[in-house]
Amino acid sequence: MTNHDPERRRLLISTATLAVLPLAAATTTAQGSRPIDQQEESEPNAWPGGPDDVSITPAIIAAAERLAGIKFTPEEQATIAGTIGEQMAIFAARVNAGAMPNGLAPATVFRAMPPDRALDPVTSTGNPEMVVANPGSLPDDEAAIAFSTVADLCTWMRRGELTSERLTRIYLDRIERIDPKLECMITVTGDRAIEQARRADSERKQGRDRGPLQGIPYGAKDILDVADVRATWGATPFKDRVGSTTATVIEKLDEAGAVMLGKTSVGALAYGDIWFGGRTNNPWNLKQGSSGSSAGSASGTVGGLMAFGLGTETLGSIISPAMVCGATGLRPTFGRVSRAGAMSLCWSLDKIGPICRSVNDTALVLAAINGLDPRDASSVGVPFAHDASQGVKGLRVGWNPAWFDGANPADRAAIEHLRDAGCELVEVDLPDLPYESLLIPLYAEAAAAFESLTRSGDDDSMVWQSPQAWPNTFRRSWFIPAIELVQADRVRRQVMDAMARIMDTVDALATPAFAANLLLITNATGHPTLVQPIVFDEGRPHGFTLIGRLFDEGTICRLGRELERRCDVATQHPVL
């Protein structure tokens, strides 16, 4: 038998359960033309092992001990071997019941707010407002229009100088000409976009103003479903998948009058910048990948192919491509934005947020997609407070000099900008904890979400097959002991408590990107993060990171706008 043989896959995986927590969630594989998230297993999975199965020997238990990191006596091994079939039969019954859809979340729901903390009133009062500014007259140059901010585009449309249809056609033309260089689009929905644009223009003429996103064209990461539109998850096994429902964030943007240009490229199953059609490229350096997994949304926004993009993040998938491409990305607090209709990778970590060309634009998009949704078990109903007129004087900003050792000089300059703006800089320390343990829930949940992909062997068709790619990660995650997953969750609680104590003393944290495990920590705790370009070093963008209190995106937007003003990089765009 070969590695592609499904029966061999089932045998290998069933043996692995000796040292594994089999999580109850899975996707299905494509069969015929039905959407992949509605497929069912064509036949039950064979599962060796049961109450009467004597094939599990003490020697197998002894071998499994090395994977689990524990040691038993020979007598204990014999007893385990004689009784292990009972729990294997439980596993088998669950598998034979049929695969579950990707969007079915576990019963245990993660909440970012620790139980002994209450929401600060400052995070839920006030209404998000657009920065009032006069962008001048509409430029004659269509490229200048394409690279303009959402706020400026909105102003020109409200003044009657620009129509949504013209703007949409500008972007569709740029997609046709430039996307072959960037490879940032998987599916272009041109007819749908023109129809939405004409509706936005008609409503504006009739006096109906849906808000600052009315008529604004955007790209949606291709793990977000739109009914009857391909949603491929960037992966070969799902490249013909078609959405049967529409994601809540898309519905909210439809209600806001925004125009969806199409589906942006995503690293296969939300990892990296390699997808079944190629590699998404950095607009500043076409020989370099854009990073990912919100690869196309960052590349397309920075390249002037859309006004903004929707990204998702589990561990860096908004922050990293925004850093590499020079975009401004806002990863909201976990639970603030509904994930209903999005591919699930890790139910306790996944988040959806905007990738834009300015800090203010991220706030405008977040205001539109924020809100409670009963379709998402982790959704919370906390209003988004953002007062664009507020300054930053008196805000307490936490930092640690060690985070800046060896960093780009622009990072230290950013700290001085905040000091000069009247912020009080407060040194903070992270406790010594086993932060790497926070990766274990991600590995286990992701392997569970794509159990059927691993069992079927269809993971072999994915383009990226290196040891660090998903196929191997899913396979090795079957050997995570159940005990270790629970212990990792307890470490997560320790980290949440530690971050709560730190954030009790400051209004935000300021840090170079990826310093001190903060990307891993804040994704696990659910804290919001803003990343923005602060310098272009020989044409290479370099970004800075601001971390906010839970549900307090408004404060980091205030700080981000101040940095944006002082660094003055907003007018720099790649030449494609």
Give the separation between CA 324 and CA 410, rounded to whole angstroms: 15
Alpha helices by DSSP H, listed for 206-338, are 248-255, 295-302, 319-325
Q: Catalytic residue at 293?
A: yes
Give the separation between CA 432 and CA 402, rounded to whole angstroms: 14
Residue of 14, 148, 221, 290 marked active site: 221
Give the separation between CA 368 and CA 257, rounded to whole angstroms: 10
| Contact criterion met (CB below 8 Å) for 265 and 298 | no
3 state DSSP class of 565: helix
The end-to-end CA distance of the chain, in Å, is 50
Residue of 265, 293, 437, 452 marked active site: 293
Cβ neighbors of 180 (< 8 A, separation 6 or more) are none
Q: What angle in degrees, to the nearest 10, is found between the helix axes of 74-96 and 6-16?
A: 130
137 prior amide bond cis, ω within 30: no
Element (H, E) at 363: helix 359-369
**How many residues does this entry show for the chain?**
576
Q: Catalytic residue at 351?
A: no
Q: Which two tokens stand for residue 217?
A: 């064209």
3-state secondary structure 195-215: HHHHHHHHHHHCCCCCCCCCC
Reference 222, options 268, 180, 283; nearest CA is 268
Give the separation between CA 263 and CA 246, rounded to whole angstroms: 13
Find how far residue 256's CA is from the centre of its chain.
Answer: 22
Cβ neighbors of 307 (< 8 A, separation 6 or more) are 148, 149, 150, 153, 167, 171, 216, 217, 218, 301, 356, 357, 361
3-state secondary structure 57-90: CHHHHHHHHHHHCCCCCHHHHHHHHHHHHHHHHH
Residue of 291, 294, 317, 338 marked active site: 317
Give the separation between CA 324 and CA 285, rounded to whole angstroms: 10
What is the CB neighbour count within 10 angstroms for residue 100? 19
Q: Catalytic residue at 358?
A: no
Give the separation between CA 279 and CA 281, rounded to whole angstroms: 6
Element (H, E) at 425: strand 424-427
Q: Of all residues in the chain, what percent are helix, strand and coil, respectively (each to 5)? A: 40, 15, 45
Give the separation between CA 145 and CA 176, rounded to whole angstroms: 17
Determine the residue type at 478.
W
Q: Which residues are catalytic?
A: 221, 293, 317
